[in-house]
Amino acid sequence: MLAKHLPAVLEIILLKQSDMSSGSRYTVATLTNYAIITIGVVLFFHSIGADWSKLQWLVAALGVGIGFGLQEIVANFICGIIILFERPVRVGDVVTVGDTDGTVTRIRIRATTITNYDKQELVVPNKEFITGRLVNWTLTDKMNRIVITIGVAYGSDVRRAMALLAEVAAENENVLYEPKPLISFEGFGDNALTLVLRCYLATLDNRLSTITALHTAINDKFAAAGIGIAGMFLDSALGAAVQGRFHCDRCDRASEWQRHRCGGTTRLLGGYRWLNNDGVNALSTAAATAAGWAAWAWHCSP
C-alpha cells in the first residue's frame, strides 16, 4: 500500500509547493517507488531471519537466470533508470518513434507508453530509447518548422506569388517573426513552378490549425491575384489522370485542362504524363502521348 500511494502523494506535494516540471515530478515519484519496494524486500528477508550466507545460492541462481532468460527485461529496466536520470525523453514530450507520432504518457520499469493523436497507446521497450533513434520535438525547445510546397502554373508571375506567400506568413499570428519565414523558388517541375514556404511556430499546440489557415490563405490570395495552382486532374470517363499545359490560339489563354467554349484551336504545350488512380506511371511514353491527346479531345471539345 505504501509503495502504491506514497509516490502519488509525493507528486501532489511537489506540484503544490515547488516549480518542478511534470517530468521531474514523475522521476522523483518513480524513484521513490523503487526505493520503497527495495527497502520492503530487505526488511522482509531480515524479518524471517535470512542472512547473506543463506541467500548466496538464491543470488547465484538469479544471476544465471538474469544472464540468460531475463537479459532483455533487465536491459529494459536499466534503460528505464537511465531515461529517468538522463531524461532523453520525459513525460509530456512529443516524440516520433518509427512511424508513430505522439506524447509520452508513462515511463515504467520495462517500457514507455506513447499516446498518438488517435488516442492509441504504443508501448515501446525502454531499450529502444537508449540504443535506437527517435525524434524528440520538445527536448530542449518547442519551436518547430512548417514547410509548404506550392506548384504554380507555368506563365504565372513568380515574384508576385512569392510576395503573396510572404504576406500570408506575416498575417498569421502563430508564425514567428524571428526566425523569419523563407520563401524560395525551388525549380521547374513537369507541369508547375515549385515554390516553397518555410516558417516557424513557437509550439506544437496549433501546428495543424496553422497549416490549415496558411493553406486557406494561400488559396484565397492566389485566386484573387489570378495565379493558378497547378495540379493533377482526374477524368472519370477515362479512369485516370493527365497532367499538362494547353494554350488557346483564339483567346490567348493557358491553363490546366481548360474547356474552351470560344471555338479556338487548343494545342498541347507539354508537361503531360499519364497516371493511374494511384499516381503511378501506367503507360509508356508513346502511349502516354496518345492518351494525352485523347483526353485533350474529350475536355476541350466545344
HEC string for the chain: CHHHHHHHHHHHHHHHHCCCCHHHHHHHHHHHHHHHHHHHHHHHHHHCCCCHHHHHHHHHHHHHHHHHCCHHHHHHHHHHHHHHHHCCCCCCCEEEECCEEEEEEEECCCEEEEEECCCCEEEEEHHHHHHCCCEECCCCCCCEEEEEEEEECCCCCHHHHHHHHHHHHHHCCCECCCCCCEEEEEEECCCCEEEEEEEEECCCCCHHHHHHHHHHHHHHHHHHHCCCECCCEEECCCCEEEEEEEEECCCCEEECCCCCCCCCCEEEEEEEEEECCCCCECCCHHHHHHHHHHHHHHHCCC
Q: Mark the ranges of the chain whose per-residue pLDDT is less than 50.
A: 232-245, 255-286, 288, 293, 296, 298-299, 301-302
Residues 112 and 151 in one domain: no
pLDDT recorded at residue 217 = 95
CA distance 262 to 121: 59
pLDDT recorded at residue 193 = 92
CATH of the domain at 202: 3.30.70.100
Q: Which domain holds residue 13?
A: 2-136
Residues 87 and 130 in one domain: yes
Residues 166 and 217 in one domain: yes
CATH of the domain at 33: 2.30.30.60
- Domain stops at, among 113, 136, 159: 136
Residues 42 and 152 in one domain: no
**Number of structural domains, the chain?**
3
Residues 172 and 53 in one domain: no
Residues 79 and 150 in one domain: no
Residues 50 and 97 in one domain: yes
Residues 258 and 161 in one domain: no
Residues 53 and 93 in one domain: yes
- Domain stops at, among 96, 117, 136: 136
- Taking only the tens place, the pLDDT of each residue in 164-192 is 999 999 999 999 999 999 999 999 988 88
Partner residues linked to 93 by β-bridges: none
pLDDT recorded at residue 168 = 96
Residues 7 and 128 in one domain: yes
- Domain stops at, among 225, 247, 277: 225
pLDDT recorded at residue 129 = 87
Residues 29 and 79 in one domain: yes
pLDDT recorded at residue 44 = 74
pLDDT recorded at residue 253 = 53
Residues 13 and 69 in one domain: yes
pLDDT recorded at residue 221 = 94
